[in-house]
Amino acid sequence: MLKITNLSATVGEAAEAKTILNGLSLNVPAGEVHAIMGPNGAVKSTLSYVLTGRSGYEVTGGSATLNGEDVLDMDPEIRAAKGMFLSFQYPIEIPGVPVMTFVRTAMNAQRKARGEAEISAPDFIKKSRDVAKMLNLDAEMLKRPVNVGFSGGEKKRLEIYQMMMLEPKFLILDETDSGLDIDALKTVADGVNAMRDPSRGMLVITHYQRLLDYIKPDKVHVLAKGQIIKTGGPELALRLEQEGYDGVLGEAA
């Protein structure tokens, strides 16, 4: 599904360009959930931005393909239409644009790009109501401008709301657990698990085992210095929690 091979990238202008990805390889087959862990500043978020096409990074080598298609040359909106979705570590506020308007515009833009018909207003509203109910989101909240005045946890839930509305093929969750209270974590995890599907892949970036208790990963990768330096099963996350990065990485180094 998502295949990253030897991916290298830099940030910044020519002379000051700083290497952020250094020959990273990762393969997430359809139907699997992979977790990425790693210390602060390990370029986890950066990896998610490079994959979704944020400007400011230059890919200097390697490739990333989604179902065999090279995504690195595509505009971000094309990648989105192909099914890439990023749940942002820090969701962005969009003053003046109500959530419902935003999501419906996004959904129809994606459908248009894929040559599909627009969703009808009643269908959209029904779908929104169902998703909001599942995530315990207040209908009033969806009339407010995107993320404006939302609490940290509300923003994270709104990311998942958007994800469930847009039904992407490949999901990147960047620290979706941070900021969520215990009940919200469970609710969000239920939402994510409901999206699990043999045709869907997920990359879950987190610092904590707790999220992985709910969203069981098939594999856990440790990212540091622009590379995947260790890969294991779910037990790797538990070990990291007990021994810390120093303990686990010490042996890898």
Partner 1 sequence: MTTALRDFIKNPTTAELELVARYAMQPEDGRRERAFLAFAETGLPHRRMEAWKWSDFKAALKALETPASASANDPVPHDGALVFRFAPTGFEQPKTLPEGVRILTQPTTQALSGAEDVPLGALAAALAGGGARPSTMVIEITSSDLPRLHFVFDGAGEASFARIIFLVRSGVSLTMTESYLGGAGFTAALLEFNLEDAARLNRTIYQRGGTDEALAVTGLINLAANSAAVQTTLAFGAKVARMETRAVHQGSGAKLTLNAAYLSGKGLHADITTHVRHGAPGCVTRQLTKGAVLDGGTGVFQGKFFVPRKTGQHTDADMQHQALLLEDGAVVFAKPELEIYADDVECAHGNTCGALDDAQMFYLRQRGIPETQARAMLTEAFIAEALSTADDSVRDVLLAEAQNWLSS
Ligand X SMILES: Nc1ncnc2c1ncn2[C@@H]1O[C@H](COP(=O)(O)OP(=O)(O)OP(=O)(O)O)[C@@H](O)[C@H]1O
Residues that bind Mg ion (CB under 5 A): 44-45, 89
Question: Among residues 19 and 89, whose Cβ is nearest to Mg ion?
Answer: 89
Nearest to 193 by CA among 176, 179, 207: 176
Please select the residue that binds ligand X; options are 13, 40, 55, 242, rule is CB under 6 A. 40
Sign of the C-alpha dihedral computed for residues 240, 84, 32 and 92 taken in this order? positive
- Residue 88 CB, shortest distance to partner 1, in Å, is 7
Q: Min. distance of Cβ 248 from partner 1 in angstroms? A: 32
Q: Which stretch binds ligand X (CB under 6 A): 38-46, 70-78, 128-136, 149-157?
A: 38-46
Does 117 participate in binding partner 1 (rule CB under 8 A)?
Answer: no
Query: Whose Cβ is closer to partner 1: residue 52's or residue 227's?
Result: 52
46-65 positions binding partner 1, by CB under 8 A: 52-56
What does the chain look like in DSSP terms, one character per residue? -EEEEEEEEEESSGGG-EEEEEEEEEEE-TT-EEEEE--TTSSHHHHHHHHHT-TTEEEEEEEEEETTEE-TTS-HHHHHHTTEEEE-SSPPPEEEEEHHHHHHHHHHHHHHHTTPPPPPHHHHHHHHHHHHHHTT--GGGGGSEETTT--HHHHHHHHHHHHHHH--SEEEEESTTTT--HHHHHHHHHHHHHH--TT-EEEEE-S-HHHHHHS--SEEEEEETTEEEEEE-HHHHHHHHHHHHHHHHHHH-
Residue 40 interaction partner, one of Mg ion, partner 1, ligand X, none, beta carbon < 5-8 Å per kind:
ligand X
Q: How far is the CB of 135 from partner 1 (least distance, A)?
A: 17
Residues 10 and 22: their CA atoms lie apart, in Å, by 9
Of the pair 82, 230, the CB lying nearest partner 1 is at: 82
11 binds ligand X (CB under 6 A): yes
Q: Is 86 in the site for partner 1 (CB under 8 A)?
A: yes
For ligand X, give the closer residue by CB, 11 or 141: 11
Q: Report the residue from 34, 44, 155, 200 that binds ligand X according to the rule CB under 6 A.
A: 44
Which residues contribute to the site for partner 1 (CB under 8 A)?
Answer: 52-56, 75-77, 79-81, 84-86, 88, 91-97, 102-103, 105-107, 109-110, 113, 145, 162, 166
Which residues contribute to the site for ligand X (CB under 6 A)?
Answer: 11-12, 18, 20, 38, 40-46, 56, 89
